Amino acid sequence: MAALALASGALLAPSAAHADSTTDNAATQSNDAFGRAVGTERTGLYNSDDVRGFNPVEAGNARIEGLYFDQIDRIPGRLRPVETIRVGLSSQRFPFPAPTGLVDYELVKLSDHFEGHTKLQIAEFNSPDLRLQLKMPLDGDRLGLFAGGGMRFLNRAEGEKSFVYNYAALLQAKPYAGATIMAFGGLSHTSDDEARPVLFPTGSVLPPEVPRRVFLGQSWAKRALDTPFYGAVVKLPIGAFRLEAGLFYIERDFHTFYADILNGISPSGAVASRFIIADGGNVDQSLSGEARLVREWGTGAVHHALTLSLRGRHKQRLFGGSQTFALGQSSAIAEDFRSAPSFTVGAKSRDDVKQLTYGLSYNLFWTGRANFDASISRTSYRKALDFADPARLDAVTRDAPVMFNVAGSYALTRRLTIYAGAAHGQEEAQIAPDIAINRDEAPPAVHTRQLEAGLRYALTPHIGLVAGVFSISKPYYNLDPSLRFRQLGTIRNRGIELSLTGEIVPGVTIVAGTLLLDPRISGEAVDSGLIGPRPVGQIRRRSVANLDWRLQGGKSAWSFDLALEDLSARNANARGTLSAPPHTTINLGARYRFTMAGLKMLLRPNVQNLFNSYGWNVSSSGGFTYVPSRSGTLELLVDF
CA distance 31 to 89: 11
For residue 394, the enclosing domain spans 2-639
Handedness of CA 622, 623, 628, 633 (dihedral sign): negative
Contacts of 576 (CB under 8 A, 6+ apart): 531, 532, 533, 534
pLDDT computed for residue 471 by the predictor: 98
Asked if the model's pLDDT at residue 352 lies above 70, the reply is yes
Beta-sheet pairing, 270-279 with 323-331: antiparallel
pLDDT computed for residue 617 by the predictor: 95
Handedness of CA 608, 612, 615, 621 (dihedral sign): positive
CATH of the domain at 526: 2.40.170.20
Band of pLDDT at residue 369, cut at 50, 70 and 90:
very high
The tens digit of pLDDT for each residue in 310-324 reads 999 999 999 999 999
The tens digit of pLDDT for each residue in 200-232 reads 998 889 999 999 999 999 999 999 999 999 999
Taking residues 366-386, report their average pLDDT. 96
Domain count, the chain: 1
pLDDT computed for residue 157 by the predictor: 85
Asked if the model's pLDDT at residue 98 lies above 90, the reply is no
The tens digit of pLDDT for each residue in 109-130 reads 998 999 999 999 998 899 999 9
What's the mean per-residue pLDDT of the chain? Answer: 93
Instruction: With beta carbons less than 8 A apart as the criterion, state whether 453 and 469 touch.
Output: yes
Handedness of CA 595, 596, 598, 602 (dihedral sign): negative
CA distance 553 to 573: 50
Beta-sheet pairing, 102-106 with 62-64: parallel
Contacts of 457 (CB under 8 A, 6+ apart): 3, 415, 416, 417, 464, 465, 467
Taking residues 478-488, report their average pLDDT. 93
Taking residues 137-161, report their average pLDDT. 92
CA distance 538 to 265: 21
Asked if the model's pLDDT at residue 150 lies above 90, the reply is yes
The tens digit of pLDDT for each residue in 591-604 reads 999 999 999 999 99
The tens digit of pLDDT for each residue in 497-552 reads 999 999 999 999 999 999 999 999 999 999 999 999 999 999 999 999 999 999 99
Q: Count other C-beta atoms under 10 Å from residue 560's C-beta.
A: 13
pLDDT computed for residue 159 by the predictor: 84
Backbone angles phi, psi at 57, to 5 degrees: -70, -45
Asked if the model's pLDDT at residue 14 lies above 90, the reply is no
pLDDT computed for residue 632 by the predictor: 95
Band of pLDDT at residue 19, cut at 50, 70 and 90:
very low
Distances (CA, A) of 122 to 40, 233, 631: 14, 35, 11
CA distance 134 to 132: 7
Instruction: With beta carbons less than 8 A apart as the criterion, state whether 192 and 152 touch.
Output: no
Nearest C-alpha neighbor of 184 from the set 167, 165, 171: 171
